[in-house]
C-alpha cells in the first residue's frame, strides 16, 4: 500500500504510551477533509510540546497509509515519520471576542454524532468501524480523583514521566 496525503482536523489525542519501536507516542483521532473519522498512529510526543505544538482543532496534513493491525479497524492509519505539518490553526486558536469558536467546530463535528452506543457496536460488527462520537443526554455525575499537578519547570515534568522502573506514568492532564 502506498503513502497518501490527508488533511485532518485533530479532535482527540490519547494518553501517551511507550512503544518499543517508536518511543513515547500518542494515537490521535480526527476528521478528514472528506469528513471521515480517522485514527493516526504513531505521533511522537515531541509534536505535542514546545511553542508550535499540535493542539486539538488544528488542521494538519500527513502522509499516511492504511494500518496493518490485528484488530483491522476501519479508521486506523499509520503516519509516515516526519510528515505531519500544521496547516491551519483557525479553529484551535480561533477566538472571537474572547470566545472559543465552537460554532465552526460544531458545524464540522456534530453531524457525525452516532444515534447510540448500540449503533456503534453494530457498525463494528458490520464493517469494523471503531471510532464514533456520542453526545450524552444527561451528565449524571462528575468525579475528580486527586489534585491536578501543575509543573512549573518542563524538565521536572519530563523527569516524572518515567519512574525508576521505567514504567510510564500518565500525568493528570496533557491537553
User: Do 11 and 162 form a contact (C-beta atoms < 8 A)?
Assistant: no
Cα(163)–Cα(15) distance, integer angstroms: 17
pLDDT at 85: 95
Q: Give the mean model confidence (pLDDT) for residues 81-97.
A: 81
Residue reference for cell 488544528: 58
pLDDT at 58: 94
pLDDT at 11: 93
Counted residue by residue, the chain has a size of: 175
Listed by start position, the domains of the chain span 4-161
Q: pTM for this structure?
A: 0.74
Q: Give the mean model confidence (pLDDT) for residues 106-127.
A: 93
pLDDT at 172: 37
Query: Confidence class of residue 143 from pLDDT cuts 50, 70 and 90?
Result: confident
Q: Give the mean model confidence (pLDDT) for residues 145-170.
A: 51
Chain mean position to CA 57 = 10
Q: What is the DSSP string of the chain?
A: ---EEEEEEEEEEPPPEEETTTEEEEEEEEEETTS-EEEEEEEEGGGGSSTT---TT-EEEEEEEE---TT--TTEEEEPTT--EEEE-TTTS-EETTEE-HHHHHHHHGGGB-S-HHHHHHHHHHH-----B---S--------SPPP--SSHHHHHHHHB-TT--B---S---
pLDDT at 57: 93
Is the pLDDT score of 159 beyond 90? no
Neighbouring-strand partners of residue 29: 12, 39
Is the pLDDT score of 170 beyond 50? no
Higher pLDDT, 4 or 171: 4
> Tens digits of per-residue pLDDT, 8-44?
999 998 888 888 888 888 889 999 999 999 999 998 8
CATH class of the domain comprising 4-161: mainly beta
Work out the mean pLDDT of the chain and round it to a whole number. Answer: 82
User: Do 23 and 80 form a contact (C-beta atoms < 8 A)?
Assistant: no
Amino acid at each position: 500500500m502506498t503513502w497518501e496525503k490527508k488533511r485532518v482536523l485533530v479532535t482527540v489525542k490519547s494518553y501517551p504510551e511507550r512503544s518499543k519501536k517508536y518511543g513515547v507516542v500518542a494515537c490521535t483521532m480526527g476528521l478528514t477533509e472528506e469528513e471521515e473519522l480517522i485514527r493516526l498512529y504513531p505521533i511522537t510526543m515531541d509534536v505535542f510540546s514546545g511553542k508550535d505544538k499540535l493542539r486539538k482543532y488544528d488542521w494538519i496534513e500527513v502522509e499516511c497509509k492504511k494500518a496493518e493491525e490485528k484488530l483491522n479497524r476501519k479508521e486506523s492509519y499509520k503516519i509516515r515519520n516526519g510528515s505531519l505539518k500544521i496547516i491551519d490553526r483557525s479553529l484551535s486558536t480561533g477566538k472571537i471576542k474572547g470566545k472559543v469558536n465552537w460554532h465552526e467546530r460544531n458545524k464540522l463535528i456534530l453531524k457525525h454524532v452516532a444515534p447510540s452506543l448500540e449503533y456503534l457496536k453494530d457498525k463494528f460488527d458490520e464493517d469494523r468501524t471503531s471510532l464514533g462520537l456520542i453526545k450524552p443526554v444527561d451528565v449524571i455525575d462528575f468525579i475528580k480523583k486527586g489534585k491536578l499537578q501543575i509543573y512549573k519547570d518542563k524538565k521536572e515534568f519530563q523527569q516524572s514521566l518515567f519512574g525508576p522502573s521505567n514504567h510510564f506514568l500518565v500525568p493528570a492532564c496533557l491537553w
